[in-house]
Structure 1
Amino acid sequence: MIRQILLVILFVTSPAAATVAMAEPIRMTYEEFHPYSFTDSAGEPQGVSIDIMRRIADAAGYEVLFQPTQNPAGMLEELRSGAADVTSLLALTPERLAAGLATETLGAFELRAFVRGHGSVANLGDLTGTTVGVVRGSFAVSGARLIPFARLVEFDTTDDLILPLLTGEIDAVVSAHNGFLRRLRMAEVEDQIVALEPPLVTSPYGFVVAAENEPLRTVLNAAIYSSISSEYLAEVEQIWFGRSRTLWDNVLVRWGLLISAVMLAAILVLGYWFFHYRKRSAELSRDRASDQLLIGALDEVAAAIVIYDDNLKAIHWNHGFELIFPSMVPALKKGATMRQMIVQSYVDGTIQNDLSDVEILEKVDLFIEDMRRGRAEVRTVRTQDGRVFQARDVKLGARHFASLRVDVSQLQKQQDTIAHQAVSLEAANEDLRTFSSITAHDLKAPLFSLLNLIEFMAEDMEAAGISLPPEIEDNWSQMERLSHRMMQLVQDLLVYSTTQSESHRSEMIEPSPRLQEVLDLAGPREGFEVIIEADMPRLRVNPIAFDMVMRNLIVNALQHHDRDHGTIILSAQSTDDAVMLSVCDDGPGIPEEHYEQIFAPFHRLSASTEGSGLGLAFIKKTVESWGGTVQVSAAQPRGTVFTVSFPQSVAQQDGDAEQQLAG
């Protein structure tokens, strides 16, 4: 019983327990290697590998898709390419282990030498210089070459080896142990041929999982531990390889044994009680020794574990509990219940809390009620000495329960540090936004004065009839143009620095009429037509931020157009999640490799392009601040499409609220 309880605990606490089922089935590739794996006449996969994988997958909660392959090399290639998740049983050679991850071994391929049962060869040493039969091209050829000075005779099939061995045409056969025994049993000559000890080659075998799929190997190994026993492997081996003939297969022997059994029945009945008690005593001793081994292993787990019976009385606790909570061990030794243990940890201050005694009792009773119903939620508790634990109380089978406490103090400390750093980073970002805003404001006044001064000087020179030489006229124009660009940069920087705070104030708007007002402010170039789709879906957004985003997109399309005439179309469509508003132009377009770069602050595709390089950066920052996205794509046959998304859920909730108020 204790062994079952401990196995349940190890499964609960293992990483594999978190993976109950995959979204997609396991893809297992297998080769035509009868009887380990093959496709039968009905097209179904069969064999030792297939049966074992089906049992493992069933225990782990998976489905399996079987994919036939020609040979082991093909299986490993499918594993590397991602076409398969796991192979059939393979000898775990270094080359194959380099191609994937091996599961726990499930047996071994043995290459043995077989001789006539009454021949002159009695051991491997006697095979030196003899004639040895092998199947042409099989791995038995390399094994047979381990026999000194052996003369190899190659045959086409395994069945072709049997008769020459019986007639003395060859002295021995080298073949796979299980496969050759199966052939001998089918031919009913197993008792005339013996396998020599030791094997020539022994290679452990198991399944090989894709190298990047460690979680799958973990789950398969957990299923192997829980569902694959030596008894089960023996049953599968007997199914596919048969069994050795025994005396019971002889009819006369069976009758003789039956008569002997009847005659001995009385003696067995008389001796039953004596042997029964001795046997039971031995079994109890063995079980106790096994339980002690498992308990010893559990003591090494870095967690505090207590096991309770159906009455919630402690029946076992591991060494980890004694190390982590030494003050609570005396209560356990006195037979304390789970309820008493948890209440004590709250009352004596072991666990940090500000609850009254009544609240503590109510909380503990709720824990226990949930646990008995199978609802074992993980909760975080902190002790007075600063440690942090993940606590879980679980039901084990029908009559047992367990409390698990895992120390996660170091992890919690790291999480607290990250949270503190996030607060500090936000404060630094706010300081940076304030600095940017102040700087932009401070620069704006002298720039404005500079622009006015340039304008006044131009007016004075015109009034005085002063004309400048062409070179100075060009420099004057360039100075005026650069000053205006500087003013635009400062204004854009001021808007960009205040985007996050401004975008949070929002209201419901009608996009179509508002876009017409935005267009009037944008001032489209002569020769350009701007088409605004009517009856666009309503949006909840900051109106000023909306106007600035759309004006920037319209001005951007007009400014970068390469012709004297063109068309810009503003349209919208609604999905379940968002309203998508698009600005489509028929300009020169943007190369796809620049789609990400254009949204970076101060980035311009051409040095001759007017502007500060903050327009698209401002658009991206503003749109993302209200939870939307902005994307760029190519228009057909030419041009660019900028698509801005507005979360539909916000607009829908506000619309519902307005309907309720109206009702």
Structure 2
Amino acid sequence: MLKSNCFVIVAVLIYTFLSAGFSHSSSAQAFQPSQPLTVKAAVLKNFPPHYTTDANGKPSGFAVDVLERVTQIANIQVEYIVKEDWQDVFEALKSGEADLIPDQGITERRKQWFDYSLSTEACPIGIFVLSETEGVESLDDLIGKKTAVVALNVGEAIIAKRSAIKPIVFDNVEAALLSLLSGNVDALIFPEPVIMMFAREARVDRRIKRAGSPLRTVKRGIAVRKGNITLLNRLNPAIEQFLQSKEYSRIYTKWHGEPTPFWNTFRVILAMLGFLSLTAVIMGYWRYRSMAVLNIELKKQIRLREAAEQDLKASYDTLEQKVEERTRKLKAALSEVKALSGLLPICSHCKKIRDDQGYWKQIESYIQEHSEAEFSHSICRDCAAKHYPELKIYEIMDAEDNESSD
């Protein structure tokens, strides 16, 4: 019996808990008004990341994405009115041309003009200077310096409380940022997400920095005409439901997250592939050039070798011809020497020699024909004494030799 009662009590508690949880979750997600409503929203043409427009004039940005999701939950249709500056946006809401402003900083001064929804984000306000500027950390450091603010922006309200700081008021943030970059002002007070988005779009974000800590953090929400409680009561439950969703985190990260680094995984892989491809091309070209140079050098060496072979062959042919000529001459001389070394018929009286053909010739003529010897005619001592005794040729020569020896 006791076990049965315990079981019943546990079952009742579980049923009660589940019923309460189901009822709570149903009420949390059940806000969807059945009656549709159409409103007009005044938006700024260019105030990133909150407002921006494409080439066709269609608005987008963080404020627009948030409003689209909130109004979808609240069953509200939105028509957008694009204005050039904040003054025109304010006037559109004040005059009734617009029913709301999707995203605006909530300040005490603006609460005098408009009513605001629950906050959709918090925006830090900071002092911005050039990257190389030192010595600026707070408002006290701006005394005596030219400080830029934008009309109707919270920065103007902040600096208005410091009479020692003389502000230079600009109509829009673009002009204020340009004045800071050009050195015409020393500092700029403005919401950090907006000024950094402008700087990134202009690719000058590395040229500026926030000096010190944020001056304050301003909540931002949807502004409606003063006294339009009906619209606020329709927007606030939708905002509360939307802020608890993952979609809000996705939208916030989309517009307020860190800028996507240029060197993401895909670009790194692409760069590596490009580097490897370029390396392969360079190596291929270097190999081609090396082979071409080597081929040229080989062809040159082949030509030189062929020329040397031709010269060697010509020299060999010439040498061979000379050897053949010398051999021929040697053979001829040898044959002549052999002819002279044989049995020669010679006249015992006139001393003529008979050749192979039977002709008798003077001995000197025969020797000249059959050898390379040449003859010069002279007279011996015996013949001189016998045939020319009166000339006394050798006696005179002997006397001259004796005189020269003395």
TM-score normalised by structure 2 residue count:
0.48
Highest RCO, 1 vs 2 (Cα 8 Å, sep ≥ 6): 2
TM-score normalised by structure 1 residue count:
0.31
| Rg comparison, structure with higher value | 2
